Amino acid sequence: MTGSPDAVLALRLAAPLQSWGGEGRFNRRDTRPEPTKSGVTGLLAAAAGRAREQDVTDLLALRLGVRVDQPGTLLRDYHTVSDYRNVPLLSAKVNAKGQQQPAGKSTHITERFYLQDAVFVATVAGPAETVDMLAQALKNPAFPLALGRRSCPPSGRLVLGVHYDATVDEVLDTIPWQAAEHAKLRRRRQRRREGAVTGATVSLPTTVEDPDGTDQLADVPSSFSLGARVFTARRIRHGWANPPAQWPTIRDDHASGFGAAAPHDPFALLDR
């Protein structure tokens, strides 16, 4: 483990749709279940006004941590592609002259996958000077921002703040739970059905970049240039954070002793 970074930038990554590129083929674009190093680095590079061909070595050196506050659900977007002239589409194969060969069919099926209704807390740790620059850039971005794909702009508050002299794990434990009210209510009802106690904190899964980590992800880009998209691996560790929960009140909590108000008496209107 390395020592504590100079500063940690905390981000709230939320939107109706997000897509963090995983395995991809011509007719299928998958998404990973949480933000990737390449996706978050691309977000930072866009905010800072970096062109695709520009060097992002300093951004790749930053240490990424991700907390899953609201996992969301998988959305499959189904498309068919046809030539308006009703002629066979071209394939990826080429002949000796470099010309594309006909695919033998007039319609292709393509699929795109997204995470819908997901919320993450991402932390980026590194030199305070770089972190401060990125925090300001995200508030006044040079290029439009997106959560993994151009069609997925972030919604709500993006920058949660900059923390100095703190570790990634400490920040992930400190920032309150960022899930939407409906997601918190759903989880609270589930815990009550299971007979579990609703405490002051909530346990959320985390993935933190760590040179001593026992797992790895191949999501570190060498460049964002379209002609040089090569990815290398980074070491990570999985764990849990226990941030403040700030549970919402359920309407029928009073009858179960969860709420602070007096219990509701359904016979009060009968003037017994």
pLDDT digits (tens, 9 = 90+) for 11-64: 999 999 999 986 555 677 889 999 999 999 999 999 999 998 898 999 999 999
- Can you give the pLDDT at residue 262? 43
Residue 259 in this model has a pLDDT that exceeds 80: no
In order of start, what are the domains of the chain with their CATH numbers?
7-270 (3.30.70.2660)
pLDDT per residue over 159-199, tens digit each? 999 999 899 999 999 999 999 999 999 998 888 888 887 88
Q: What is the pTM of this model?
A: 0.81
Residue, of 52 and 227, whose pLDDT is higher? 52
Q: What is the 3-state secondary structure (H, E, C) of the chain?
A: CCCCCCEEEEEEEEEEEECCEEEEECCEEEECCCCCHHHHHHHHHHHCCCCCCCCCHHHHCCEEEEEEEECCEEEEEEEEEECCCCCCCEEEEECCCCCEEECCCCEEEEEEEEEEEEEEEEEEEECHHHHHHHHHHHHCCCCCCCCCCCCCCCCCCCEEEEEECCCHHHHHHHCCCCCCHHHHHHHHHHHHHCCCCCCCECCEEEEEECCCCCEEEEEEECCCCCCCCCEEEEEEEEEEECCECCCCCCCCHHHHCCCCCCCCCCCHHHCC
